[in-house]
Amino acid sequence: MENKVVLIVGGSGGIGQACADLFSKAGAKVVLAARNKSKAEAKAKEINENGGDAYVIGVDVTDLGSVSDMAREVTENLGEIDILVNAFGMGMIQPLLDIKPEHAKEVFDVNVYGTFLVTQTVTRYMATAKKGTVVMFPGILGKAVMRNSSVYSASKYAVTGFTKALVEENKRSGIKFSLLYLGGVATDFWENPNIDMRVQKEKMLTAAEVAKAVYYAASQPGQSVLNEIVIQPESHQMV
C-alpha cells in the first residue's frame, strides 16, 4: 500500500476511520472525505501525529459539484486515486406505514444517488488510469431482508445491483469491485431516530474487524479480485 491514494468517503464514521487507521499504517496516503469534517479532522490529526499521511476534504455525496470538486482536488494534489472506499450511508429501520416520505427520500438520496455520483465520478479517473479498486457496502440488508427494513433494504439492494452491473461494464477497464455484506457493526450508525430497534453493540462486529476485510479486498494481487464477502456476528446470522 506504500504511497497508494485511498479515498474513504464517509471518513467521519466508525468504519471509515478504522479503514483510515489500517491503510495509513500500511503506508497509504489516506483521504477522509466527509460532510462532518470535525470528526474526520480529528482522526487525520491522530494519524499524522503517529507518522501517517492523512488528509481531509469536505463533501456532500448528493451534490454533483461537491463530489466533482472532491475527486479533482484529490487527483491534482495527491495523484491517481487507487482505492475508493464508499463507507457512507444513512440508516432506516421502521414499519412502512410509520415512515415519513421526506425521510425515505433522504435515505435514497444518500445511499443510492450518492453512491452513483461518487462512484461514477471517481471511476472516470480510474478508467483513464486503467486501474483502481472500489469497495462497496451494501451490508447484509442488501442481500437479505428483515422486518421493518423495506426502505433501507431497497436502497441497499440498489447498491448491490448497481455494483454487479458495473462489474459487467468494467471487465476490460482494470477497475475491480468488491461487495461487502456486513452484519451489525458497532458504530454510531445505530444512534439515529429513524432506526426503531433495540441493538446489542457488544455482540456486533467491530469497525476494526470490518477494516481488515476492506484491506483484504483492496490488496488482492494482480488480476485477482474479491468479488463479495459476507461477514456477520455469530449471534446475528441471517444467511
- Catalytically annotated residue among 113, 125, 152, 215: 152
Counting beta carbons within 10 angstroms of the beta carbon of residue 71, is it exposed (0 to 12), middle (13 to 18) or buried (19 or more)? buried
Q: Which residues contact 52 (CB under 8 A, 6 or more apart)?
A: 24, 25, 30
Return the exposure string of 150-168: e unless at least 16 CB atoms fall within 10 Å of the residue's CB, then b.
bbbbbbbbbbbebbeebbe
Tell me the torsion sign for CA atoms 100, 103, 109, 112. negative
Q: Which helix (H) or strand (E) is 149 found in, with range?
A: none
Does residue 152 have an active-site annotation? Answer: yes
Q: Tell me if 208 sits within 8 A of 238, measured CB to CB.
A: no
Amino acid (one-letter) located at 15: I
CA dihedral sign, ordered 144, 148, 149, 154 = positive
Active-site residue set: 152
